[in-house]
Amino acid sequence: MSERLSATLVKSLPGCVQCPRYDAEQHGAGIIHIGIGAFHRGHQAVFTDDALAQSGGDWRIIGVSLRSQTVKEQLNPQDGFFTLIEKSTGKSTARVIGSIKEVIAAREEPQKLSEALADPSIKIVTMTVTEKGYHYDQSSQSIDWESADIQHDLVFPNEPKSMPGLLVKACLKRMKSEYSHSSKLSIISCDNLPENGAIVKSVVLGLASRVDKKLVTWIQNNVSFCSSMVDRIVPKVTVADGQALTQQYGYEDQGLIVTEPFKQWVIEDNFCTERPDWESAGVLFVKQVSDYEKLKLRTLNGSHSALAYMGVLLGHKWIHQAVIDPLLVTVIQRLMQKETGPTIPTFPNVDLAEYQQQIIQRFENSDIAYATQQVASDGSQKLQQRILQAMEELYRENKEQHTACLMATLVCWLRYLKGSDEKGVTYIINDPIADLLHALVNEHWEQPIDLVDALFKQTSIFPTSLKTTPNFTKRLIDGIHKITELGTHAYLSQILQDAE
């Protein structure tokens, strides 16, 4: 049996595996990360590892799992160490990341987590909790009071289940502690949401106002919220990846991460505490992140979602297969170049055409197998920022002739919600409101007018400005008729033909 990765093993790994260029155990923790899934380990943990190697500091990360124990079981027996494999065009490099100190499972160790959150040596909280983890209601632009977890946290603020609840508890403990004046926190959101820092601020202050009035003022004076744009494709690790690692390098790693070489992190420079030397690791600090968020969400994530829904319907299991389907690549090229492209501000240092081309190449990386179904999940939470906001702007500027592929993405999403592809293969829909969406689509599919009406009334996915634009509604209804009549392939071909 091969030995499992640990602090001891790191010292004797073969030279072809790059090990941390610092003595990890000599560095204390300064960051708590909420939602320690694969993305965090392939992204922020790597930037922090590089910053520790460059400039040191007590900036190791305590990871928090809100629901499961899995990551704790993967990483704690390995003293937090894990291997990161970067893969592209058949080449692969391995390095061990040392920036994670330990993982706490929130549900099993609430006391330990509570102490860590109140510890004044923790200066930064980062998070990847996915779009739904914010409990933010886009239509009212405030915390979603209807959410079961938020309702729970209102009644039991000491045993929070949600990310806002956890942060409110942390702030409450800090306010009441003897270090109240020296326990500031900088909070950075790392999820694919526009203005994500402002969203965290809004949900945290919203919940805090119902828990303790004084807390709102304390937060305003002692906590800063930074938006950030994150980018790296980090798929789920497979058993085969683990076996390949053991075969190639001779050790076992249950916390292994496989990712692409590309990575990017742009952070709003709004810190009220010290921070790691992330610049040295290539992080860009800017006054305003919103333009970068628009660029990434509408270009990469928008076309990812388009490929996902269209890909699933046409039987493509993986993004790298969907993107070499000549029809689908033409759809996303048009979507990026003619539709979302013009809604993106210009940057002195970004060539949009190159950026779009690079995204297609990244999607083509078959060494990073990313499932279309994974991207297709949680559409109700993703489509606003990826598709609908660009559409809203285009309609507002009377450019609806440039919305054909955006509209096709919506139509394919609705068709996807029927729960079976073109060949009748069924699948499970992952979405916080999957049951409602699936029921509405199946009930009204033959009467698209009723379907659209029900979706507008019973969900908050579509922005009011589009709901009240007759042409938008008409095109959506037409699209549903057409995809039913022609099938996905012919429908998309016709969209492209008509758009010429």
Q: Which residues bind ligand CS2 (CB under 6 A)?
A: 192, 231-233, 300-301, 304, 374-375
User: Which residue number, 310 or 375, has a Cβ lying nearer to ligand CS2?
Assistant: 375
What's the closest the beta carbon of residue 303 comes to ligand CS2, in angstroms? 9
Residues 137, 131: Cα–Cα separation, whole Å: 11
User: Which residue number, 42 or 276, has a Cβ lying nearer to ligand CS2?
Assistant: 42
User: Which residue number, 52 or 300, has a Cβ lying nearer to ligand CS2?
Assistant: 300
What's the closest the beta carbon of residue 383 comes to ligand CS2, in angstroms? 11
What's the closest the beta carbon of residue 368 comes to ligand CS2, in angstroms? 9
Closest by CA position to 40, among listed 19, 63, 21, 24: 63
User: Which residue number, 144 or 231, has a Cβ lying nearer to ligand CS2?
Assistant: 231
User: Which residue number, 248 or 374, has a Cβ lying nearer to ligand CS2?
Assistant: 374
What's the closest the beta carbon of residue 230 comes to ligand CS2, in angstroms? 6
Cα 29 vs. chain centroid, distance in angstroms?
A: 24
User: Which residue number, 48 or 114, has a Cβ lying nearer to ligand CS2?
Assistant: 48
What's the closest the beta carbon of residue 374 comes to ligand CS2, in angstroms? 5
What's the closest the beta carbon of residue 190 comes to ligand CS2, in angstroms? 10
User: Which residue number, 373 or 484, has a Cβ lying nearer to ligand CS2?
Assistant: 373
Q: Residue 361: CA atoms inside 13 Å, Cβ hemisphere, count?
A: 11
What's the closest the beta carbon of residue 259 comes to ligand CS2, in angstroms? 10
Q: Which residue is nearest to ligand CS2 (CB)?
A: 304
What's the closest the beta carbon of residue 269 comes to ligand CS2, in angstroms? 21
User: Which residue number, 430 or 458, has a Cβ lying nearer to ligand CS2?
Assistant: 430
